[in-house]
Structure 1
């Protein structure tokens, strides 16, 4: 059984409630892996979810550990989470650069899938920072150095632009509520667009492959009509099969 690792897709919120003279606080921990996890598990894959707060220390530190997985997914996780492990940030101890390892993993035959969100690609306030890492070398799109979020509360519909195994046979695209704006690269192939910008792009690097999906795999950019779309599972399974050369 082929193995998939998803890193990211989690967040914690701490809210202050003020009611006149009094105030109180609430906190919540949430994850967004539900739909993509379902797609891959129903498709017969061994799926491992590594939320952001664990990825800092538990995302693989060696190429051998990365190669235990047939596909790596980065979704709504900033580069700093991998670049600043606790030993480095708090004690100035050298640790392997895991962004470099991801690049090497792809070049040596691995599959990389970046999914959009507030901290992938460039993200909110450009805090994703992936364009400044070696991961950019094996992405089929150019990440912007500025905040790349394109918010569409009215809804906007992607368009398939090229025949490809990933999109062939899919039904009509449902609308989305936003995406990360990127630029196409000469060594990549854009197979679907939104507002003329890459929506799905793929590329081959060394012995491996990568794909960029510039909207979310869960709310808020992926509304219910997208997450419950009849071809949701088929889309993500097609991406995995192409990336892993199945």
Structure 2
């Protein structure tokens, strides 16, 4: 299973969006559309440490997601960031033609239990998400994570800055970045499970938590890997790259 001994391989799923805006100017209006791919700083942090990172943006998951368990096992780590369960479950084949196909989240579950690593990163469509639309609580991977996912809108918006408290600064998954972290602008509220290792909290809620699942490992970072919840001081923080590399490496079994 997984990448070579010298180069770990990560599959980043999500972290993209399209914004369609209506500009109303008196009697007249016009529209503009913008497509954005996030997660570039996270991918760079891993690549700078010898990882191979494949990014499958949200709209491409239905066609570019690995076709079977063997293909998924080519990766040391699967990262889900800011994309909800419906993107995995409701492809055009299923939604438009009522045909059956493999459950992508069930494949991720089997991958983890067989020894793979899974990291969920926060956002408006992670965990429960905005208006509870992300929907991971009752998904095939919900019980594998180290935190209990709420079934309500779980966003905690903190424009004043949410304070990070590091509980276990010596844990190898934190990359020796110390205990003084920049504040964050928000996060997904969750509850730690009994067997979870909570390494850091934000405003008293889990921020970084880890656990084992079968032969694999799972972890969460309940705020963003990029704006808006991760503001410029966090993105420019010297701990950004070593933190993400260490967290990803530990979850991948390193």
CA distance in 2, matches of 1:122, 1:142: 10
Are 1:33 and 2:29 counterparts? no
1:245 CA displacement: 2.2
Gaps of 5+ in 2: 1-6
CA distance in 1, matches of 2:123, 2:116: 22
Q: 1:215 aligns with which of 203, 223, 247?
A: 223
Asked if 2 retains the 8 angstrom alpha-carbon contact of 1:57 and 1:86, the reply is no
Map 1:132-211; keep pairs closer than 5 Å: 132-162=138-168, 163-167=170-174, 169-171=176-178, 172-211=180-219
Q: 1:63 aligns with which of 56, 65, 69?
A: 69
Asked if 2 retains the 8 angstrom alpha-carbon contact of 1:13 and 1:29, the reply is yes
CA distance in 2, matches of 1:168, 1:56: 34
1:71 CA displacement: 0.4
**Which digits, 9 at most, give the CA deviation of each residue in 1:138-162, with x for residues without a partner?**
1010110000000001111211112
Asked if 2 retains the 8 angstrom alpha-carbon contact of 1:39 and 1:236, the reply is yes
1:15 CA displacement: 0.4
Q: 1:61 to 1:188 in 2, by over 3 A?
A: farther
- Residue aligned with 1:134, SS: coil
CA RMSD of aligned residues (A): 1.0
Are 1:118 and 2:127 counterparts? no
1:168 CA displacement: 5.7
Are 1:50 and 2:56 counterparts? yes
Are 1:83 and 2:83 counterparts? no
User: What corresponds to 2:244 in structure 1?
Assistant: 236
Gaps of 5+ in 1: none
**Which digits, 9 at most, give the CA deviation of each residue in 1:169-204, with x for residues without a partner?**
213110100000001011221111112110000001
User: What corresponds to 1:2 in structure 2?
Assistant: 8
CA distance in 2, matches of 1:82, 1:18: 35
Q: 1:94 aligns with which of 77, 96, 100?
A: 100
**Which digits, 9 at most, give the CA deviation of each residue in 1:82-132, with x for residues without a partner?**
011110010000011111111111110000000000001010000000111
What TM-score do you get using the length of structure 1 for normalisation? Answer: 0.97
- Residue aligned with 2:17, SS: strand
Aligned length in residues: 246
- Residue aligned with 2:35, SS: strand
1:34 CA displacement: 1.4
CA distance in 1, matches of 2:224, 2:67: 26
